[in-house]
Chains A and B, each alone.
Chain A
Amino acid sequence: MTPGQMFLWLVALVALGFCLRRGPGMLRRVGTETGQSLVKILPLFAVALPMAAFLAELMPADAAVTWIGPESGPLGVVIASVAGGFMPGGPFVTFPLVLAFAKAGAGVPQMVALITGWSIFAVHRIISWEYPLLGWRFVVLRLVSALPLPILAGLLAELVVEFLPMTIGTP
């Protein structure tokens, strides 16, 4: 187990302890809900992880270099921000794909922009959840307020990487 995973388990056990103090009924509800989430998530994993693996194999080794490579600069940051908004599906798709892009030569600031763009714009999430529940005024308000953030994040990451070189993925 990695240190991050141990930390996550520790926090989870503390939270479960708080639930137990409020009564065994609450702990049972937590168990039921976890089971329901697993039933919902496992089918997604079953299709998403192979998809990301196939795409990673298909992608030529230097496919990402020209558009979103480390040398693509601010234009690459803009391209990655927009591309992020159109990534389909949840984190179980996006993060394996980012890993695939990184192996195909994408730059670190560009991947920061891509993840931020996906977090903010995710078109599929707007269509299926935000618009029906909260209405178009909320969508417009949020999009206008957050519009420059992915590009800003990518440019800031460019500054950081300049002083603190790093790679994506655990070696």
Chain B
Amino acid sequence: MINLLRRNASLMVIATIGAAAAAGLWQRDGGAAVGHALYHAWELFLFIVPSLLAGLLLAAALRQLMSPGALGRWMGAESGWFGLLVATVAGGLTPGGPMAAFPLVLVLGGAGADRGALIAYILGWSLNGFQKLLVYEVPLLGPEFAIMRTLITLPMPMLAGWLARKLPIVWEPPK
């Protein structure tokens, strides 16, 4: 039950906000405005579909090809900036949503990655994941903006990982 709620929580939150917004729009501008907005959403969907399909295919292929265990050995506590770089790149290449990325943190941790590298990994995924970038950000917000934002945040996971290694908060991967 909890699991079902967890998996569908975003769906329900979005549906609730969406229904409220539709009601508000109907109230203010009438049914035609709601229809117009729906048509706009459909156009947006058609625009995203080609990237979405390619992104999902690539994501599934990468999951089959990558070996997290081998990667984790490069990301130990003594790995320095190189380990943080490996973690950041691996995070950026990790496809899929949180249901894919967070369990991988456990796998990498089990294979020897330290807390700094794991922080860099998760931030590399959430800040600069290639799938989000190519499927959503470039088509919707334009290449100029997407490239500028990506270049600015590119080194940030390494910075945070370096800081995490200095912080006196001990964390061990749960067994």
A-B interaction: yes
A contacts, CB < 8 Å to B: 1-2, 4-5, 7-9, 11-12, 15-16, 18-19, 22, 26, 29-31, 33-34, 37-38, 41, 43-45, 47-58, 88-96, 98-99, 102, 108, 111-112, 115-116, 119-120, 122, 124-125, 128-130, 133-135, 137-138, 140-142, 144-146, 149, 152-153, 156-157, 160, 164, 166-170
Inter-chain pairs besides A115-B137, A120-B127, A134-B171, 9 sampled, C-beta below 8 Å: A4-B139, A22-B65, A53-B40, A54-B37, A93-B14, A94-B136, A120-B126, A135-B174, A146-B156
Main secondary structure of the interface of B (DSSP, over half): helix
Q: How large is the interface on B (under 10, 10 to 19, 20 to 34, 35 or more residues)?
A: 35 or more
How many angstroms between the C-alpha atoms of A144 and B153 in the bound complex? Answer: 17
Question: Can you show 5 pairs from A to B with CB atoms below 8 A apart?
Answer: A57-B29, A98-B141, A138-B171, A145-B160, A146-B160
CB of B144 within 8 A of chain A? yes
Interface string of B123-166 (1 = CB under 8 A from A): 10011000010111111111111001100110010011101100
Q: Are the C-beta atoms of A18 and B21 separated by less than 8 Å?
A: no
B151 to chain A, nearest CB (A): 9
Main secondary structure of the interface of A (DSSP, over half): helix
Chain B positions within 8 Å of A22 at CB level: 64-65
CB of B106 within 8 A of chain A? yes
State whether A16 and B57 are in contact (beta carbons under 8 Å apart), knowing that A5-B139, A137-B169 are contacts in the complex: yes
State whether A49 and B44 are in contact (beta carbons under 8 Å apart), knowing that A108-B145, A125-B98 are contacts in the complex: yes
How many angstroms between the C-alpha atoms of A68 and B40 in the bound complex? Answer: 25
How many angstroms between the C-alpha atoms of A50 and B56 in the bound complex? Answer: 22
Among B35-70, those with CB < 8 Å from A are 36-38, 40-42, 44-45, 50-65
